[in-house]
Amino acid sequence: MMRQYELVERVKRYNPSTNEALLNRAYVYAMRAHGTQKRASGDPFFAHPLEVAAILTDLHLDDATIVAAVLHDTVEDTAATLDEIREIFGAEIGALVDGLTKLKRLDLVSKRAVQGENFRKLLLAVAEDVRVLLVKLADRTHNMRTLHFMRDDKRARIAEETLDIYAPLAGRMGIQEMRDELEDLAFRTLKPEVYATIARRLEDLSAKSSNVIESIEHDLTARLKARGLEAEVKGRLKRPYSIWSKMERKSVAFEQLSDIVGFRVIVGTVAECYAALGVVHTSWPMVPGRYKDYVSTPKQNDYRSIHTTVIGPKRQRVELQIRTAEMDEIAEYGIAAHALYKEASGSGEVHPRLATESGAFQWLRRTIELLAEGDSPEEFLEHTKLELFQDQVFCFTPKGRLIALPRGATPIDFAYAVHTDVGNSAVGAKINGHLTPLLHELANGDEVEIACSDGASPPAAWESLVVTGKARAAIRRATRAAVRRQYAGLGRQILDRAFERAGKSFSEDKLRGALPRLARASTEDVFAAVGRGEMFSGDVVKAVYPDFKDERRSGGTGGPAASGSAGRLSRSGDQTMRLTFSADGTAQGAGQSAIPIRGLAGDLPVSFAPNGGAVPGDRIVGILTPGVGVTIYPIQSAALAAFDNEPERWLDVRWDVDGSQERFPAKIALESINEPGTLAQIAQVIAEHDGNIDNVSMKRRTQDFTDIAIDLSVPDLKHLTAIVADLRGKRTVSRVERVNG
């Protein structure tokens, strides 16, 4: 375990003016607070906060952050209180410990929704002071180093979370060394055999290539010196996780990787970076497409370096990174090494406030802005992980504004990066002056011009085609708004007819006065609720005209039909039902009033929509076809879009089948594993839930999977939902969903 003087010495190496008394006081306080507590390894618990503090000294952090690291577990795990810490160590350290205590209470290893919500809280906690995040990352690093002492199931969950969130978050903060270590530690836990194999291959390669690496270092150093450039050249092998990721991404074997060895060239100034690049490219041929200049266009985490790959000595491909010493420090330590952390006096003391000009912190701020967009926790986690994992391309607006996007981004992503309204109204794009499809993948340096239309709205399909979280969130919101407008339009038409049948006048002003009785905030909410089937039109009429009596609901047969519900749907054949109309054109069913349809008389055939049908429990709509009859669709049916411009054909109908023994048509689509007995298992589930199979079609998609479409009949939606739920639980069924025509 680290001694008291050792911690002080580590800090004094980079900050000679450190407050030794403060560090000593924190050491003694934490040691006494933790007392005889032990970790899973059997080591004293106090060793953990000391190791976390040691990791932060490598990042050259200020005294307050080091002290907060030493104290970060005291409030949660000992009798120490936050008030006591504030009193002894001051408000600044107290605030840091408070933020870390709140984070410690977040169990991120949990279900996706909870994980997403906790990740929101994590980012919000570090929004004001990123030092909280730096301590959290150091805490996770030491926990990963000692992960082998945990239970197997807990190890896997923590390692997966580290790979999903903490490692890429460290990368976004620019702390590459920490990211590499977290990735390797998680990789070794999740895929121990693969890790061991790659590590063994790297050891063999290192033994064989040591002379080659030294030779290239000496050769390159001599060439640079001959041109008057003093440079430090360092060669090293890539890490196991980095190699495995590239093998997976490019589907290549270890032997096919040609850039396992990388070299770093450290020079004095930015001008010398480009001079060194000239020496490299005039000495050896460059590999096309492998040059990237992050000096003139830094990454969002402040990373700056020139990357190039050449065919070096002995025809070996050599990957080079050329940078200054300052760039190298930022590349390794990220936001913790940012120049604006330092006092203007040049004393070397770390400033207690975050440098808000840092690109890494600006990214963090932009990510936190997503919290206000109203997405669900799962969506927020998905969007943020998209941002965490992607490398970048740099594009420009016609006016020269630089837009940084994830690799694989399209003009749609570009449009939303400019402004949400630009994305929502985008209809076309020009890239470098040429008309280009909106799904074209952008490249570094592209100039992108977006064509917009005021009446346009983003198709829902765009959501699966974009790669940025901001674009996905905006498209989802626009899609939801469009669906809500459709429901509201349908609800308005239903209410117009309902008030007309009731013989009452209808206006939005009158409806607005009834909002408190309907428990809705706006008339638009009422329209949407009626359209979705959450509220009956007759209830709205009653709310606007409290003295109105709905004759049909009270059991009477005379008078006009005032409710928006339909009459009974009665069976008159295998797949067809009929509504019977009286002489005055009012549909009759089982002695009850129904929707009045003027100008019709006699029996009107009523049938279900093809390809899926509808079952009791579905919100349904009737579409009138003169001379043919009424077709019943579930409200979620995509086929209803064909009738959007024909509101006069829409009928407000509903089920009235209480106690009926009838069955109704439905359709489900499955993807099953090709195993003996799979179809029998599926049929058994349907039978157990009182369903009947009418037709089955099967198509073998691959050797291992078969697509199955089943037409069945069930009593109601409850039975159908139970069938789908049970099928999803079967090991031999990889996917199942209901099909709506």
Catalytic annotation, residues: 76-77
Q: Residue 733 belongs to what H/E stretch?
A: strand 733-738
Task: Encode 161-230 in three state secondary structure.
Answer: HHHHHHHHHHHHCCCHHHHHHHHHHHHHHHCHHHHHHHHHHHHHHHHHHHHHHHHHHHHHHHHHHHCCCC
Q: What tokens appear for 101 in the block?
A: 């205590």
Q: Cα 190 vs. chain centroid, distance in angstroms? A: 22
Q: How many helices (H) and strands (E) does the chain have?
A: 27, 22
Q: What tokens appear for 608 in the block?
A: 């279900």
Sign of the dihedral defined by the CA atoms of residues 497, 498, 502, 508, in that order = negative
The CA-based dihedral angle spanning residues 673, 679, 683, 686, taken in that order and rounded to the nearest 10 degrees: 20
Nearest to 518 by CA among 497, 491, 493, 500: 491
Please enumerate in sequence order all residues whose Cβ is within 8 A of that of 640, keeping only pairs 6 or more positions apart, or say none.
621, 623, 633
Q: Which residue has the tokens 């577990």?
A: 73
- The total of other beta-carbon atoms located within 10 Å of residue 397's CB is 15
3-state class of 247 per DSSP? helix
* End-to-end C-alpha distance for the chain, whole angstroms: 68
Q: Cα 512 vs. chain centroid, distance in angstroms? A: 38
Structural contact between residues 302 and 270, judged by C-beta atoms closer than 8 angstroms: no
Structural contact between residues 304 and 287, judged by C-beta atoms closer than 8 angstroms: no
Q: What tokens appear for 232 in the block?
A: 């430090």
Structural contact between residues 313 and 330, judged by C-beta atoms closer than 8 angstroms: no
Question: Which conformational region is residue 302 in: left (phi greater than 0), alpha (psi within -120 to 50 degrees), or beta?
Answer: left
What whole-number distance in Å separates Cα of residue 256 and Cα of residue 135? 39
What whole-number distance in Å separates Cα of residue 728 and Cα of residue 475? 29
Helix axes 20-34, 47-58, angle to 10 degrees: 150
Sign of the dihedral defined by the CA atoms of residues 578, 583, 588, 590, in that order = negative
Half-sphere exposure of 730 (CA within 13 A, CB side): 26
Helix axes 152-161, 176-190, angle to 10 degrees: 140
Q: What tokens appear for 262 in the block?
A: 């990388």
What whole-number distance in Å separates Cα of residue 16 and Cα of residue 9? 9
Q: What are phi and psi of 252, to 5 degrees?
A: -125, 160
What whole-number distance in Å separates Cα of residue 543 and Cα of residue 540? 5
Nearest to 630 by CA among 649, 648, 615: 649
Pairing relationship of beta strands 629-634 and 570-571 according to DSSP bridges? unpaired
Burial class (CB in 10 A: 0-12, 13-18, 19+), 29: buried
Q: Which residue has the tokens 């993948």?
A: 441
Question: Quick one: DSSP state of residue 704?
Answer: S
3-state class of 300 per DSSP? coil
What whole-number distance in Å separates Cα of residue 597 and Cα of residue 61? 78
Q: Residue 696 belongs to what H/E stretch?
A: strand 692-700
Q: What tokens appear for 342 in the block?
A: 């330092």
